[in-house]
Amino acid sequence: ERKAKEEAERKARKEAEREADADDARSLRKTPSSQARPSLVPPPRPRRQRQRKSTKFAAQLEQVLPIVPVRKRISRMGSVPISQEVMTPAHKNKKRTVFDDYDFLEPVGGGAFGQVMQVVHKDAGLARACKSVAIRSRKHFSG
């Protein structure tokens, strides 16, 4: 008697599940194509603006170094007279390092402003490329 009751309950549950599944299938078939169907993929989460948290290092740094406001300074570079020593080329009265340290072999390429040469370092024996740019005289720069 007890077993018969349990069996009847199981059958009733199965039948109810079948009917629910059939109802779901029918409702999906009846849904017009213009009506939105439930998506299987969840919508993307809205992005939250994260606030930067102070790290241990930053907290320790704040304890060691005081926070000082920045003061604006007026530049006085324009008012300082420039001596002739500053205006002379750096290579004047010095050895020409590129030409003294390298052997120039052959041109590799060229352009409007100069050419690229294959060079070999005299001491190390390393092959490199050196770009030589033509320097124009002062008359080209003065109006």
CA–CA dist 132, 102 (Å, integer): 13
Calculate what percentage of the chain has a pLDDT beyond 90: 10
3-state helix, strand, coil in the chain (%, to 5): 40, 15, 45
| pLDDT tens track for 3-53 | 888 999 999 999 888 887 776 666 655 555 545 566 677 777 777 666 556
Q: What is the pLDDT of residues 76-118, one digit of tens each?
A: 555 566 666 655 665 566 666 677 888 999 999 988 888 999 9
pTM, to two decimals: 0.30
Would you give the DSSP letter of residue 69? P
Q: Which two tokens stand for residue 123?
A: 């001491």
Predicted pLDDT at 19: 80
131 annotated ligand-binding residue: yes
What domains can be seen in the chain, in order of their start residue? 96-135 (3.30.200.20)
What span, in angstroms and rounded, lies between the C-alpha atoms of 137 and 4?
114
